C-alpha cells in the first residue's frame, strides 16, 4: 500500500523529479481524492519535499525554510536585523549551493554586522559571530575547506576572513575610497576569493593565505554578482549598469569575454553535474570533477532570467519573470530555477502599505513539456536576498519526537534568540514637508531625512554621543529610476549598533519616525533595506556619532570595540565576539 501511494505521487506530480524512495514500476497508480496525498510511511507530514531552500529574509531579519518543489514555507528562524547571504557549512565545491555537510548554515546580517550560525538539524540559531567595526558586511562566502568565512565590508571598503571555530576575524583595507566590496565568491580550489566593488567597477582578486589583494580586474559599470562556476575556471560577473556579463578566467586572472546579456543583470547561478554526468548529490557523489552546462543570470530591469551556455559562452535563452528579479537560485538537482523577485506589482492582494515580494520557480528541465514556464509563484516574508538549497536527505528525520536520538540533542544545546534586538520607539506620521536637515527640539536632535532613488538627503548626519535622536524619514520617490514600479518602498537602516533601532520601512505617503539614543560613537553607514531599483545598493548615507572628547568620528575614530558587543548577552559561549586584528 505504501509503495502504491508513493508511486502515485511520483507519477501524478509532474514536478516530482527526485522523490526519495524509488517508485516500483509494477505498482498501479491509485486515485486518491482531494489534495491531501499522504505518505503513511512513518512520517507525520502530508508532504515531503526532496529539496529544501534556505532563504534570507532581508528586512525581517530571519531565515525562511521553504520546500522545493512544493514552495511551502516550513519555518522562519530569527537572526537579527537585515539578513543577506546564505552559506552552508561544509565546502563551497559544486555550484552556488555548495557541498553542505548538513551541520550548519551561515547567514550574514548586514544590519547588525554579524554572521548567524544555525544548526541545520535542530533548526535553531546556535551562535552569532559579531564582526569587527567599522566593517558593514554585505555578503559572505565559505572556503573550500569549510573552516573560513570570507566577507565583504561594503560600508568601510574592507574585506574580512573569519575563522569559523574561534570567530576571530582578520580585516584588510581595499582602497582607495570610495570603495564598496559587495558580492563575493571563493574559488573551488581554495586559492582565491573574488569580490565585486561597485564603486571601483572592478573585481578584486584576493589570495586566501595570506589574505591580501592580488589585483583588481576592471569589469563593466557597477558590478554586482561575482560567481565562480563549479569547475572553478571562470568567474561570472554581472555588470549592473553595463547590461553585460564579464567572464573572468581564473588562471590568467584576466577578462576572457564580455557578453551582452540583459538590462540590469544582478546575479548568476549554475547547474552542476557529477563526473558521470548525473545531478550532483552532496554527501553521496565525489565533489571532484564537477561540471556545469548553463548559468542563469537574473536581469532586474529586463524582468527576465537569461540562460548562458558555459561552453559556447553565449546567451541561449531568456525567460520572463514577474517582476524585477534580484537574486537567483537553483534547486540542487538542477531542475528548477528560483527567481527571487523584488516586485509583485499587481500579482497579489494588498497587505497594507507595503506589498509583498515573491519567489517564482520556473522549469529549467529542457525536455520537460513545461520548460521555461513558471511552475510556482508565492509571496514571501520580508524582502529576501539570497537563497540556497540542499537535498532534504541531509536533514535528519526527527519528526516523531526522537530528537535525542542520533546525537541530535543529547547534551546541553544552546539556543539563541537574537539578543541584540534593542529598543527604539517607532511610529508613522502623515507625510511631512519639513526640509531635510538636523534641528534641536526640546533637547532632542530631530533629523529629517528624505529617501529617493538613489540616495538620502542629507547624505551625512552628525550628532553627539549621548544625544536623544528622533529620526524622521520620508520616501519622496515617484518613480524609482528605471524601474517605475508604483509600489516602491524604501528602507533606512543605520548598520551596526543602531541596526535594530533604525530598521525603518518607508512606504510612500507617510513619514516614519524612530526615537533612540545615540550612545556609541563612530561612523555608521545608512543604507536602504528595500530593494528599490538597480542602484539600491548605492543608496547610502552616513550617521556620525561624535564623541566631543575624541573629536569628529571617522572610520578610525569611534567606539568601535563597544559597537561590536551586542546587548543582551547572557553568558559566555552564546556569542562569539571577533577580535579586531589588523588593518584598522
Partner 1 sequence: MKNAKLKIGLIAITSLGMMWGSASASAAPEKRCTAGGQKVECPTITEAEAKAASDRFTKEAESMGTGEGGSTYGIAPFDYLTGVGKRTAASDAGAKAGTYKGDSGYALKANAGQVKTELWDRVKAPSSDGVTDKSVYDQWTNNWSPKFGETLVAGADANQGKSYYYSYCIACHGWLMHGDGPSASELNPRPRTLTRGDYMQKKTNLELFAIIKGGGEAAALSSSMPNWGNVLQDQDIWNIVAFIRAMQDVPPPKSVTEYLNPKSTFKPIKGDVDALNAAQNKDFQEMQELIESEMTGRAPGSELVGGGYVKGGNRINAADVTLKVKK
Interacting positions 269-328 with partner 1 (CB under 8 A): 299, 301-304, 318, 320, 323
Q: Does 346 bind partner 1 (CB under 8 A)?
A: yes
User: Which region, judged by CB under 8 A, interacts with partner 1, from 28-36, 417-425, 554-562, 567-575?
Assistant: 554-562
Query: Measured from the CB of residue 326, what is the shortest distance to partner 1 in angstroms?
Result: 15
* 92 vs 553 by CB, closer to partner 1: 553
Cis bond before residue 4 (omega within 30° of 0): no
Q: Does 182 bind partner 1 (CB under 8 A)?
A: no
Whole-Å CA distances, 465 to 112, 518, 519, 566: 19, 6, 5, 18
Q: Does 218 bind partner 1 (CB under 8 A)?
A: yes
User: Which region, judged by CB under 8 A, interacts with partner 1, from 11-19, 352-360, 376-384, 482-490?
Assistant: 482-490
* 106 vs 560 by CB, closer to partner 1: 560
Q: Does 523 bind partner 1 (CB under 8 A)?
A: yes
SS (H, E, C) 83-149: EEEEEEEEECCCCCCCEEEEEEEEEEECCCCEEEEEECCCCEEEEEEECCCCCCEEEEEECCCCCEE
The distance between the two most distant Cα atoms of the chain, rounded to a whole number of Å, is 82
Q: Residues 164, 167, 168, 169: what is their CA dihedral angle, to the nearest 10 degrees? A: 70
Closest by CA position to 238, among listed 225, 256, 229: 225
Q: Does 163 bind partner 1 (CB under 8 A)?
A: no
Q: Are 84 and 385 in contact (CB under 8 A)?
A: yes
Q: How far is CA 536 from the centre of its chain?
A: 15
How many residues touch partner 1 (CB under 8 A)?
81
Name which of residues 63 to 122 contact partner 1 (CB under 8 A). none
Q: What is the number of other CB atoms lying within 10 angstroms of the CB of residue 440?
A: 10
Q: Judged by CB under 8 A, which of 104, 133, 135, 174 binds partner 1?
A: 174
Q: Does 521 bind partner 1 (CB under 8 A)?
A: no
User: Which region, judged by CB under 8 A, interacts with partner 1, from 51-59, 330-338, 382-390, 553-561?
Assistant: 553-561
Q: Does 244 bind partner 1 (CB under 8 A)?
A: yes
Give backbone dihedrals phi and psi of 504, rounded to 5 degrees, phi first.
Answer: -95, 140
Q: What is the number of other CB atoms lying within 10 angstroms of the CB of residue 423?
A: 11
Please name the residue that has the C-alpha cell 517605475: 484
Q: Does 16 bind partner 1 (CB under 8 A)?
A: no
Strands 467-475 and 444-452: parallel
In angstroms, the CA 553 to CA 373 distance is 53
Task: Quote the DSSP letter at residue 458.
Answer: S
Q: Judged by CB under 8 A, which of 257, 275, 373, 550 binds partner 1?
A: 257
Can you spell out the DSSP letters for 38-101? --TTT--SS---SEEEEEE-GGG-EEEEEEETT--EEEEEE--S-EEEEEEEEE--SSTT-EEE
User: Which region, judged by CB under 8 A, interacts with partner 1, from 4-12, 31-39, 72-80, 451-459?
Assistant: 451-459
Query: Measured from the CB of residue 180, what is the shortest distance to partner 1 in angstroms?
Result: 8
Q: Does 207 bind partner 1 (CB under 8 A)?
A: no
Q: Does 456 bind partner 1 (CB under 8 A)?
A: yes
Strands 540-546 and 460-464: parallel
Q: Does 429 bind partner 1 (CB under 8 A)?
A: no
Query: Measured from the CB of residue 87, what is the shortest distance to partner 1 in angstroms?
Result: 26
User: Which region, judged by CB under 8 A, interacts with partner 1, from 17-25, 79-87, 138-146, 216-224?
Assistant: 216-224
* 93 vs 450 by CB, closer to partner 1: 450
Cis bond before residue 178 (omega within 30° of 0): yes
Query: Measured from the CB of residue 408, what is the shortest distance to partner 1 in angstroms?
Result: 45
Query: Measured from the CB of residue 336, what is the shortest distance to partner 1 in angstroms?
Result: 21
Q: Judged by CB under 8 A, which of 373, 400, 439, 484 binds partner 1?
A: 484
Closest by CA position to 130, among listed 496, 428, 437: 496
User: Which region, judged by CB under 8 A, interacts with partner 1, from 97-105, 117-125, 255-263, 406-414?
Assistant: 255-263
Q: Judged by CB under 8 A, which of 29, 123, 372, 455 binds partner 1?
A: 455
Amino acid at each position: 500500500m505504501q509503495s502504491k501511494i508513493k508511486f502515485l505521487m511520483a507519477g501524478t506530480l509532474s514536478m516530482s523529479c527526485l522523490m526519495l524512495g524509488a517508485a516500483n514500476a509494477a505498482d498501479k497508480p491509485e486515485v486518491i481524492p482531494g489534495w491531501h496525498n499522504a505518505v503513511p510511511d512513518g512520517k507525520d507530514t502530508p508532504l515531503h519535499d526532496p529539496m529544501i531552500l534556505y532563504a534570507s529574509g532581508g528586512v525581517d531579519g530571519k531565515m525562511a525554510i521553504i520546500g522545493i518543489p512544493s514552495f511551502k514555507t516550513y519555518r522562519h528562524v530569527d537572526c537579527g536585523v537585515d539578513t543577506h547571504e546564505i552559506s552552508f557549512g561544509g565546502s563551497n565545491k559544486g555550484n552556488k549551493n555548495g557541498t553542505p555537510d548538513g551541520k550548519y548554515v551561515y547567514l550574514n546580517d548586514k544590519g547588525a554586522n554579524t554572521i548567524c550560525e544555525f544548526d541545520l538539524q535542530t533548526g535553531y540559531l546556535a551562535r552569532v559571530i559579531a564582526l569587527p567595526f567599522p566593517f558593514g558586511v554585505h555578503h559572505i562566502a565559505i572556503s573550500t575547506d569549510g573552516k573560513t568565512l570570507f566577507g565583504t565590508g561594503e560600508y568601510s571598503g574592507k574585506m574580512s576572513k573569519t575563522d569559523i571555530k574561534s570567530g576571530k576575524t582578520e580585516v584588510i583595507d581595499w582602497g582607495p575610497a570610495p570603495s564598496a566590496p559587495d558580492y563575493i565568491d571563493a574559488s573551488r580550489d581554495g586559492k582565491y576569493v573574488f569580490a565585486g566593488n561597485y564603486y571601483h567597477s572592478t573585481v578584486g582578486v584576493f589570495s586566501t593565505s595570506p589574505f591580501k589583494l592580488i589585483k583588481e580586474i576592471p569589469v563593466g559599470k557597477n558590478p554586482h554578482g561575482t560567481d565562480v562556476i563549479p569547475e572553478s575556471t571562470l568567474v561570472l560577473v554581472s555588470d549592473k549598469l553595463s547590461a553585460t556579463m564579464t567572464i573572468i578566467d581564473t588562471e590568467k586572472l584576466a577578462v576572457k569575454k564580455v557578453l551582452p546579456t540583459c538590462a540590469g543583470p544582478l546575479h548568476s547561478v549554475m547547474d552542476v553535474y557529477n563526473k558521470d554526468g548525473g545531478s550532483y548529490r552532496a554527501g553521496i557523489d565525489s565533489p571532484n570533477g564537477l561540471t556545469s552546462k548553463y548559468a542563469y543570470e537574473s536581469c532586474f530591469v529586463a524582468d527576465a532570467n537569461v540562460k548562458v551556455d558555459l561552453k559556447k559562452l553565449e546567451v541561449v535563452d531568456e525567460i520572463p519573470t514577474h517582476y524585477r528579479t534580484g537574486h537567483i537560485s537553483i534547486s540542487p538537482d538542477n531542475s528548477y530555477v528560483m527567481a527571487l523577485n523584488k516586485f509583485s506589482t499587481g500579482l497579489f492582494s494588498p497587505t497594507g502599505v507595503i506589498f509583498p515580494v515573491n519567489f517564482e520557480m520556473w522549469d529549467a528541465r529542457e525536455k520537460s513539456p513545461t520548460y521555461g514556464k513558471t511552475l510556482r509563484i508565492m509571496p514571501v516574508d520580508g524582502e529576501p536576498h539570497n537563497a540556497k538549497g540542499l537535498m532534504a536527505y541531509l536533514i535528519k528525520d526527527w519528526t516523531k519526537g526522537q530528537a535525542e536520538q542520533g546525537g541530535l540533542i543529547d547534551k546541553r544545546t544552546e539556543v539563541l534568540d537574537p539578543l541584540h534586538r534593542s529598543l527604539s520607539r517607532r511610529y508613522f506620521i502623515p507625510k511631512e514637508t519639513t526640509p531635510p536637515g538636523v534641528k534641536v527640539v526640546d533637547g532632542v536632535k530631530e533629523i529629517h531625512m528624505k529617501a529617493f532613488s538613489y540616495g538620502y538627503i542629507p547624505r551625512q548626519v552628525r550628532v553627539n554621543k549621548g544625544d536623544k535622536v528622533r529620526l524622521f524619514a520620508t520616501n519622496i520617490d515617484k518613480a524609482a529610476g528605471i524601474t517605475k514600479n508604483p509600489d516602491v518602498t524604501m528602507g533606512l537602516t543605520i548598520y551596526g549598533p543602531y541596526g535594530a533601532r533604525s530598521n525603518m520601512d518607508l512606504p510612500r505617503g507617510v513619514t516614519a519616525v524612530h526615537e533612540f539614543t545615540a550612545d556609541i560613537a563612530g561612523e555608521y553607514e545608512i543604507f536602504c533595506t528595500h530593494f528599490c531599483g538597480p542602484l539600491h545598493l548605492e543608496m547610502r548615507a552616513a550617521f556620525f556619532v561624535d564623541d566631543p572628547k575624541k573629536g569628529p568620528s571617522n572610520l578610525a575614530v569611534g567606539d568601535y570595540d563597544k559597537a561590536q558587543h551586542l546587548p543582551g548577552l547572557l553568558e559566555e559561549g552564546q556569542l562569539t565576539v571577533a577580535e579586531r586584528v589588523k588593518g584598522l
